Structure 1
Amino acid sequence: MNRTAYALVATDLDGTLLRRDDTVSPRSLAVLARAARAGARHLVVTGRPAPGVRSLLDVLGCTGLAVCGQGAQVYDAGAHRLLWSVTLDRELAETALGKIEAEVGDVYAAVDQDGVEGMTLIEPGYRMPHPTLPAVRVGRRDDLWHRPITKVLLRHPRLSDDELAATARAVVGSLATVTMSGPGTVELQPCGITKATGLALAAEHLGLSRRRTIAFGDMPNDVPMFHWAAHGVAMADAHPELRAVADEVTLTNEDDGVAVVLERFFGRE
């Protein structure tokens, strides 16, 4: 391993490591395998809940930890259990939704339930940003709150994601953390919980430090992770908010932007 290589490689999934069709390129798989042989650990750090990443972790050959749910979950793939999980208080979530709708009118909502078997529930009118992800449609909003949740997902019929996120941050305050993780994906999660908090917990569990961590992402929800890691790499088409704090910008996910950078440290076949 190159003596300047990183010991921990933290990658977002959607828009970063994954291609548009939810696959990982052979080139990316190859360089991640070389990194593993060199002693580096690959850690998926995603907004997807634990149940929504299992098949992808299998493709990546990951039997260790993954950070899911925007940092609310640290999932042990090999043991199929959560090492750590934080839920969003459902009364606070309802209050936050009420404050947002008082400003922008009706929004469409969904929730990710807690647990390794938790479901994504969507209310009438909500459209999943990732059609391949499983979701259960409920009859009314009250049905979203029957079980503990890790986050609320929001969509607005007219406002852009940036506009909705900005309004939500302005009115929600300390009720929740507001993130934007992709097109059509504005989220409310437990206050203070970010990808950085989950990554820090997983790194501590693995005995690895931020000083030897390289992180890859494409959206504003990756900003805390970039601040935590030693080196943050934004994809070429990343949101301007993330590009502004990145240490470098690579190619797009379709052009193997993650692999291009990792090959500097772990070589090419």
Structure 2
Amino acid sequence: MVAPSPYSLIATDLDGTLLRDDDTLSERSLAALARAGRAGARHLVVTGRPAPRVRPLLDDLGCTGLAVCGQGAQVYDAGADRLLWSVTLDRELAETALGKIEAEVGQVYAAVDQDGVDGLTLIEPGYLMPHPTLPALRVARRDDLWCAPISKVLLRHHTLSDDELAATARSVVGSLATVTMSGPGTVELQPCGVTKATGLALAAGHLGLSPGQAIAFGDMPNDIPMFEWAAYGVAMANAHPELKALADEITTSNEDDGIAVVLERLFD
């Protein structure tokens, strides 16, 4: 008889992790998650995407429970279509942080994710969406980004790499915001102290689950706090070197069903 898996909580990032590069879910990954669910494990999506941009994927996953969105700034109840918890980034602090970054590196291009289950993604002139499949509304000027409460700011620079932009932002932003790097072309400012781990801890607590019961999957530095919180962290083959260095295991890539490879072993 095969021993039961020690993990009752499966926390997965989306982009570059559970999703393939074309933003789709493979049948193998869906089957592996379903098998784990039948064994009693709970699956939590833990993503940088805001709740409105996660709903279609949660439908595809058949998820009617909780999801951690907005880099941990939102805990979303898919069944009720409401936020159980959310925290916003002060817009004046966000503007100040942007000013400090631009004083160091010159012009950056910004976008924001608005708070709420129907919040929009607004992009200023010059900003290019790293995921062209995600809907966004272009505004006429930067001031228009601050028209409603926001959960985070997304930044791009025309010449600096993501690593360079994130490092500079961290050096000047201080306690104004938390700086994360969540994917190619995606450096973000979120409320100070908020990470994927803070949102995951809240969602897990709501489900009565602890870090010792959790396995986490990710691909970017924004997943580091989640790996530090969970008992076991699995990085994708395509993951950023910073995350690979911290991982307990490196699986195959998101294109090669890396999550399924691990779950099939654990929930055989």
TM, length-normalised to structure 2: 0.99
Match of 1:266 in 2: 267
Segments of 4+ in structure 1 off by > 2 A?
1-5
Amino acid at match of 1:113: Q
Amino acid at match of 1:111: V
Match of 1:255 in 2: 256
Secondary structure (helix, strand or coil) at the match of 1:244 reads helix
Match of 2:213 in 1: 212
- Supply the distance in 1 between the matched residues of 2:245 and 2:169 (Cα, whole angstroms): 22
How many matched pairs?
A: 267
Contact kept? 1:2, 1:266, Cα under 8 Å: no
Unpaired runs of at least 5, structure 1: none
Match of 1:113 in 2: 114
- Supply the distance in 1 between the matched residues of 2:228 and 2:127 (Cα, whole angstroms): 32
Secondary structure (helix, strand or coil) at the match of 2:181 reads strand
Secondary structure (helix, strand or coil) at the match of 1:70 reads helix
Q: 1:53 and 2:20 equivalent?
A: no
Q: 1:15 and 2:27 equivalent?
A: no
Contact kept? 1:177, 1:188, Cα under 8 Å: yes
Please give the root-mean-square deviation of Cα atoms over the aligned residues, in Å: 0.7
Amino acid at match of 1:226: F
Secondary structure (helix, strand or coil) at the match of 1:180 reads strand
Match of 2:6 in 1: 5
Deviation, 1:265, is: 1.2
Secondary structure (helix, strand or coil) at the match of 1:115 reads coil
Q: List aligned pairs for 1:62-141, cutoff 5 A.
A: 62-141=63-142
Q: 1:30 and 2:3 equivalent?
A: no
Contact kept? 1:5, 1:266, Cα under 8 Å: no
| Identity level (%) | 83
- Supply the distance in 1 between the matched residues of 2:230 and 2:185 (Cα, whole angstroms): 27
Amino acid at match of 1:109: A
Secondary structure (helix, strand or coil) at the match of 2:246 reads coil
- Supply the distance in 2 between the matched residues of 1:2 and 1:137 (Cα, whole angstroms): 53
TM, length-normalised to structure 1: 0.98
- Supply the distance in 2 between the matched residues of 1:224 and 1:165 (Cα, whole angstroms): 16
Unpaired runs of at least 5, structure 2: none
